[in-house]
Structures are given as C-alpha cells and as structure tokens.
Amino acid sequence: MDGASVDVKELARRNRQAIFNQIGDSNVVLVATQPHHVFYCSGYKSMGFDTSWLLKMAVVFVADDWILVGPKADLWSAAETVGKDLRYFCYGNFFFDDQELREREGTDVVEFATFDEALSAAVAQLAGDRHKLGIDSMDGASHTLVSPQGLQLIDARATAAFFRDARSVKNPLEISLLRSASDLTEVALGNALRDAKAGMTEYELAARISAEMISQGGSPGFVVVTSGERSALADAYPTRRPIAANDIVRIDVGATFGGYWSDTARTAFVGEPGKDVLLAFAATSMGHRKASDMVAPGMTTDALFHEAVAAVRQAGLPQYKRHHVGHGLGIESHEYPTIAASNPVTLLEGMVVNIEAPYYRPGWGGMMSEDTFLVTTTGVEALTRLDRELFVIPA
C-alpha cells in the first residue's frame, strides 16, 4: 500500500481502537491532549502546534464515537482533513464568513468561549452511563473535568501507558506511511550524497536534502549535516562551513509523511579515508549489523543493546560507550521502546524500530549509520535499503 492512499479517518479509528484494546474496558471516556496524541486519535495535525506551545486541542473519545476540541481557527482545516462528518467543539474568536458553507456541508460545530468549557462539554456529550475517565496528561486538561461529570479518574500514568503501548505496535496503515516516509528520505539522502562534492557548504547539502524531501510530499523534520571536526557534534545544525578534503561528513535526517516519521543516517568521507576512519567505521558498522540481525519478535531491547556495544568494542573500539543503540519510530522520531541497557522491552510483531551505533570523538569527528526495521512474524524487514557502506565524496 502506498502511504499517499491511506484513509485518514480509518487510520485514526484503528488507532483509537488500539488504545481501547490496551485498556480492555469500553466503559471509559478517554481524552487525548498531547499534540501527537491529538493527531494519532483524529488524523488531524494543527499547524498551530508548530507556531505556539500554548495551543490547546483535545480528542474526546469512547469506543465508537469521538469529538475534536480545538480553536475556531482550525475548523475548516480540520474539516478538510477529517471530512464532513467531523464533530468539532471549538473555542475562542476567529471570523469565517461560513454560515452558508456550514448549512450546505452539515458540519457539526458547537462554539464555546474557552477550551475548558469546550472540553467539559465534549466529555459530557460522550460520557453517557460510563463512569471512568482517562486523560493522557493532566498538563493539558483541566482537573475540573473529573467531579462535575461524576467520573472516576484513571491513574494518569496508567492512561499514558495505554497510549504508549498502543502506539508501539503499528497497524498496516501506519506501516504504509512509515514506509513512504523512509522511501522519500532515502531518495533525498541518496541523491544528495551522489551530488555532493568538495567546496559545497553544509547548508547547501542540507538544502539539497530538504528540497528533495518536499518535492516528494514530505516535510523535513531535522536535517543534520556536519563535516570535519563538526561531525562529532551530536544533532547539530548545518553551517556555512565548506566541505573539504579529508572531512568526515555525518548526515542524520528525518522527515514526516502523513504525520509519520523517517530517521536515517549515513556517513561519507571526502577523498581517500585513512586507516583510523576505516577502522572506526568498520567497528560501528559491526555493532549496527549485529543489532539489526537480532531484531525479531521475542527479542529484548537490553539484549540488543549489549550485543551491539560488545560488537563495536570487539571490532576495534574497545572504549566504545552508548546510552542507547536505537528507538521506536512512529508519530514521533524517538518513541517507545528505547533500545538501552535498562527497562527491557520485548519486541512484538508490528513494532518499528531504528538501529544505530554512532561514534563521536570531539576534535576528530563522528560517524553513524541508522536504519529502520519492521518486526515481522518471522523476523524483520528493513524499511531502509540505502547502501550502508562509507560513501566517498571526490576531493
């Protein structure tokens, strides 16, 4: 399935159902207030989340119904995404000359003065004879929701875990979007590496990658292009520094497609790499390969971590240390589970995880390969297929 053909309403319905499957109780009203959860449960992502951390939205839902709560300014953008059957409880002031359109489209819109009023009304609308309320974060919802509705509040940590666990296993529609995000990112990264040459600035190479992402329908999320000694700076922005002979060039990029992330990294060298560069790259590649080959249902994240680190050390970097060697990928670029020594998690079919074993040596440089894998019934499928060798840029 091509991610571009995904039905947003069906995607959100499956996501909401996945949360209820985790809870195992339909006698609950759930409220999603975190930006990524609002998208996960509705299919709609407000651009307002990119422009103001003060924006408040929520999805109030039960097993078979839902209401989107948000600012009046988002009304028609949300309707465009979700469709005519959107139920929207809006708040605040914004002026559309839309009465004729509302009547023609039959849009179900109820207006309130404040977010808290709109949210409380949405909960009351869907509560019925239900007596439990779960909120993904008390930071984003008023505590006054609880007592006036006569609802018993589920422990916030438990509710957050329901959302987390549901998100960790992807349905086929989500996998399609993640596949498309990875595909467009690989095309952008591969073309940029093939076109790269000495004298280009980090900015120019980053711009090439970003433009390619956009041309394929993606939205650049982060574009790390660092060269020379700067390649040892983790997650640094590109600069006007020209790429020069004998530079390590570390590229770590991510884009979103349909709200789902990619995260891919590759390393290049300008000219002929020396023994120290080749040794370090071979060692980190060994750790990356070891962990990648072990991804399968039933494997634990702590085992992946220890095997990857041990492989890097045995292959030539005995001092190698890491806090993690990968993470989940989905509606966030880093999500549950983290592949680390602590808090072990058992991999399940449908999880999508990234594997990486980067190496940073300030004053010398840094390097990494990072790839995305889908845990399948029989093992693993690589969603990224770009050559994992050290790329060579002509000096």
Domain containing residue 201: 172-393
pLDDT band at 134 (very low <50, low <70, confident <90, very high): very high
Q: Could you say which DSSP state residue 82 is in?
A: H
pLDDT band at 100 (very low <50, low <70, confident <90, very high): confident
User: Which two structure tokens, joined as six digits, stand for 357?
Assistant: 């074993």
Q: How far, in Å, CA of 131 to CA of 377, rounded? A: 38
Number of independent structural domains in the chain? 2
Q: What is the DSSP string of 36-52?
A: HHHHHHHS---THHHH-
Angle at 299 (CA atoms; ends 297, 302), nearest 5 degrees: 145
Q: How far, in Å, CA of 51 to CA of 53, rounded? A: 7
Q: Within 13 Å, how many C-alpha atoms sit on residue 73's CB side?
A: 11
Q: What is the pLDDT of residue 84?
A: 78
- Using an 8 Å Cβ cutoff, are 260 and 174 in contact? yes
Which percentage of the chain shows pLDDT scores above 70? 96
Q: What is the pLDDT of residue 3?
A: 65
Regarding whether 372 and 299 lie in a shared domain, the answer is yes
Burial class (CB in 10 A: 0-12, 13-18, 19+), 310: middle
Domain boundary among 167, 188, 208: 167
Q: What is the pLDDT of residue 102?
A: 75
pLDDT band at 104 (very low <50, low <70, confident <90, very high): confident
Regarding whether 180 and 144 lie in a shared domain, the answer is no
At 164-201, the pLDDT tens digits run 999 999 999 999 999 999 999 999 999 999 999 999 99
Angle at 126 (CA atoms; ends 125, 129), nearest 5 degrees: 105
Q: What is the pLDDT of residue 1?
A: 47
pLDDT above 90 (res 20): yes
Regarding whether 198 and 158 lie in a shared domain, the answer is no
Distances (CA, A) of 282 to 230, 279, 367: 20, 5, 11
Q: How far, in Å, CA of 170 to CA of 364, rounded? A: 39
Mean pLDDT, rounded, for 132-149: 69
CATH number at 17 reads: 3.40.350.10
Mean pLDDT, rounded, for 95-110: 81
Domain boundary among 120, 137, 167: 167
Instruction: Please enumerate in sequence order all residues whose Cβ is within 8 A of that of 188, keeping only pairs 6 or more positions apart, or say none.
Output: 208, 209, 210, 212, 213, 216, 218, 253, 255
Whole-number average pLDDT of the chain: 94
SS3 content of the chain, % helix, strand, coil (to 5): 40, 25, 35
For residues 162-188, one letter each, b for 16 or more C-beta atoms within 10 angstroms of the residue's C-beta and e for the rest, the string is bbbbbbbbbeebbbbbbbbbbbbbbbb
Regarding whether 145 and 25 lie in a shared domain, the answer is yes
At 231-258, the pLDDT tens digits run 999 999 999 999 999 999 999 999 999 9
Regarding whether 249 and 389 lie in a shared domain, the answer is yes
Domain boundary among 167, 184, 203: 167
Regarding whether 188 and 333 lie in a shared domain, the answer is yes
Regarding whether 50 and 29 lie in a shared domain, the answer is yes
Regarding whether 129 and 61 lie in a shared domain, the answer is yes
Regarding whether 350 and 228 lie in a shared domain, the answer is yes
Q: What is the pLDDT of residue 321?
A: 98
Mean pLDDT, rounded, for 36-63: 95
At 273-332, the pLDDT tens digits run 999 999 999 999 999 999 999 999 999 999 999 999 999 999 999 999 999 999 999 999
Helical axes 35-42 vs 8-23, angle rounded to 10°: 110
Helical axes 275-294 vs 301-314, angle rounded to 10°: 150
At 347-381, the pLDDT tens digits run 999 999 999 999 999 999 999 999 999 999 999 99
CATH number at 217 reads: 3.90.230.10
Regarding whether 136 and 18 lie in a shared domain, the answer is yes
Sequence-ordered alpha helix ranges (H) in 43-171: 48-51, 75-82, 99-105, 115-127, 156-168
Regarding whether 181 and 157 lie in a shared domain, the answer is no
Regarding whether 126 and 32 lie in a shared domain, the answer is yes
- Using an 8 Å Cβ cutoff, are 31 and 209 in contact? no
Q: How far, in Å, CA of 189 to CA of 205, rounded? A: 10
Q: What is the pLDDT of residue 85?
A: 83
